[in-house]
Amino acid sequence: QLQASGGGLVQAGGSLRLSCAASGSIFSINAMGWYRQAPGNQRELVAADTSGVSTRYKDSVKGRFTISRDNVKNAMYLQMNSLKPEDTAVYYCYADLKRSRNDNGLRYWGQGTQVTVSS
């Protein structure tokens, strides 16, 4: 399972760091990333990391958000700087992982963490 944390209330221009940790039996983790969903909006991809090889970001967060991974801890982080009110949403982490060598792999989701940016 995945456990997300780090959300909260912050003023515009402030920073937050989200964390996401995978637990249980883990053979390998491929892609990890973050989606967000604001009220009335569809869930959208914010940032993704593919096996530590490449990263991609939603255009509106480029230069402000940074995704990183700790493969020893099976964890992922999203450093969010210069936050804007439009970043307000519930943030969900995901991980494409295999529980064993013969596992086909599944996408697991965290429970979501609320980020609120006040103007």
- Which pair of structure tokens corresponds to residue 100? 């064993």
- Which pair of structure tokens corresponds to residue 106? 């599944």
* pLDDT tens digits along 50-76: 876 799 999 999 999 999 999 999 999
Per the CB < 8 A criterion, the answer to whether 8 and 16 are in contact is yes
Tell me the pLDDT of the chain (119 aa) as tens digits.
899 999 999 999 999 999 999 999 999 999 999 999 999 999 999 999 987 679 999 999 999 999 999 999 999 999 999 999 999 999 999 999 999 999 888 999 999 999 999 99
Residue 53's pLDDT is what?
Answer: 79
The sign of the dihedral angle between the CA atoms of 33, 73, 98, 4 is negative
